Amino acid sequence: MNENEKRKYIKGRKLGEGTYANVYLGQLRTDPAVLVAIKKMKVQREQDGIAYDAVRELKFLQELHHPNIVELLSVFNSKDQNLNLVLEYLPLGDLESLIRDTDRVRYGAADIKAWMGMLTRAVWFCHDNFVLHRDIKPNNLLIAADGEVKLADFGLARSFADPGVNMTHMVITRWYRPPELLFGCRSYSGAVDVWSVGLVFAELIIRTPFLPGNSEVDQINRICQAIGTPTEDNWPGVSSLRSYAVPAEVYPVPDKKAWMDRFGGVGAEGVDLLCKTLVLDPNKRITAREMLEHRWWRTDPKPTRKEDLPRSKDDGAKKMGADLGRRPGAVEDENRGSKVARRLDFGAK
């Protein structure tokens, strides 16, 4: 594959540098107007061959092709034996930068609906292909030149396990991690991604992370206070999960009105959908497919056309560089290391 693929692209300036990869701007040699992003994986060969994240990313991006999933255009290796992933260029930053820039970026319910629609379709497509993403969060949702949202970073993704085969619970960036994983559940489903989607939805509405826990214990506390304490009543079997522990004070599951007060901006139907994605019991949580069938999409306002969506005022290319270079599973603006959710767990699969 190599030389030919490599010669197709001209590597340009560095867009970003992360612990995990360096990201460069690239051009197609035959048509310099076509821009690409080249993600150069950092070697870790001495440790353990090609990083597990890189293998996962490669294997899934090779197979999944969807308008809302970042497109892998090519792979080549450079002289120093580094893997280079050629990805489509997504110059408009990510959802996180739009959410955070409250001074300069304004958006409404129609825009949220458009973004959520694209995110939900991406997640449905993954699940329909038996792939769990396991790291959905605003800075993994990049934006293409035409406004299309693209789900990126498949470094933690895996295929659904066969029944009875355990998976690791050390996945998904903490703020977006569902209670079943926090309780150490090793056998889970697409519901874990749906929870993350719900939290991205909430964050789009209130423009700040909904449950920014600063430790796993704090994360559980915040979930209990905001969404209710998981108990045998609302989630049969929960107390037998491996690391089930909740605060002594039992918080009730809030009623519709409490949700409406805080998230009413997206209307009653929108709040209904949000509540269904944030159901404590993963077995009762809505699936990605059911989300797509929800009434909210058909009630006014209609989703904004992607070309008309609000755009980031920052340097989107730089943002892409930073997002792609980051190690999967990490929360930003916290000290590194402690918050890396993903650890290679050889026993756990």
Partner 1 sequence: MACNYWDSTQRRHWQFTKDELAAMRQKLEDEEASLVQMFPLPQLRHLNIHFNQQINRLGKRLGVRQQPMATAQVYLKRFYTRVEIRRTNPYLMMATAIYLASKTEECPQHIRLVTGEARSLWPHEISAIDAGKIGECEFFLISEMNSQLIIHQPYRSLTQFQAEFNLSQEEVALSWSVINDHYMTDLPLLYPPHIIAITAILLALVLRPTNGPGGPTGTGANSANLAAAAAQLAQVQAQARAAITGGSGPGTPGGLQGMQFSSAAGEKSPDARFNKVTRFAGWLAASSIDIEAMVDCTQELISFYECHEQFNDKHTRESILRFVKARGL
239 in contact with partner 1 (CB under 8 A): no
Residues 6+ apart with CB under 8 A from 289: 124, 127, 128
Helix (H) or strand (E) holding 72: strand 72-77
Residues forming beta bridges with residue 10, ordered by sequence position: 27
Residues touching partner 1: how many (CB under 8 A)?
33
130 in contact with partner 1 (CB under 8 A): yes
Q: Is 283 annotated as a binding residue?
A: no
Residue 167: name the closest of 182, 197, 140, 189 by CA: 189
349 in contact with partner 1 (CB under 8 A): yes
Q: Is 14 annotated as a binding residue?
A: no
- Per CB under 8 A, the segment of 69-77, 175-183, 201-209, 270-278 that binds partner 1 is 69-77
Q: Could you say which of 34, 35, 50, 260 contacts partner 1 (CB under 8 A)?
A: 50
Active site residue 314: no
The length of the chain, given as a count of residues: 349
Q: Which of 53, 94, 135, 193 is catalytic?
A: 135
4 in contact with partner 1 (CB under 8 A): no
End-to-end CA distance of the chain: 30
According to DSSP, the β-strands at 131-132 and 83-88 are unpaired
- Per CB under 8 A, the segment of 129-137, 216-224, 257-265, 326-334 that binds partner 1 is 129-137
Rg (CA), the chain: 20
Q: Is 22 annotated as a binding residue?
A: yes
275-280 long-range Cβ contacts below 8 angstroms, 24+ apart: 277/194, 277/195, 277/197, 277/198, 277/201, 278/195, 278/198, 278/199, 278/202, 278/227, 280/179, 280/223, 280/227, 280/228, 280/230, 280/234, 280/235, 280/238, 280/253
Quickly list DSSP for 185-214.
--S--THHHHHHHHHHHHHHHHSS-S---S
State both tokens at 340.
């890396």
- Per CB under 8 A, the segment of 53-61, 92-100, 232-240, 270-278 that binds partner 1 is 53-61
45 in contact with partner 1 (CB under 8 A): yes
Q: Could you say which of 21, 112, 131, 199 contacts partner 1 (CB under 8 A)?
A: 131
65 in contact with partner 1 (CB under 8 A): yes
Place of tokens 């905001």: 226
CB of 158 to partner 1, least distance (A): 6
Q: Is 40 annotated as a binding residue?
A: yes
275 in contact with partner 1 (CB under 8 A): no
Distance CA 280, CA 234 (A): 8
Contacts to partner 1 from residues 158-177, by CB under 8 A: 158-161, 167
Report helix, strand or coil for 157: coil
344 in contact with partner 1 (CB under 8 A): yes
CB of 327 to partner 1, least distance (A): 17
298 in contact with partner 1 (CB under 8 A): no
Q: Could you say which of 8, 77, 105, 234 contacts partner 1 (CB under 8 A)?
A: 77
189 in contact with partner 1 (CB under 8 A): no
User: Which residues make up the interface to partner 1 (CB under 8 A)?
Assistant: 1-2, 45-50, 52, 55, 58-60, 62-65, 75-77, 81, 83, 129-131, 158-161, 167, 344, 346, 349
User: Where is the binding site for ATP, in residues?
Assistant: 15-23, 39-40
Active site residues: 135
User: Where is the binding site, in residues?
Assistant: 15-23, 39-40
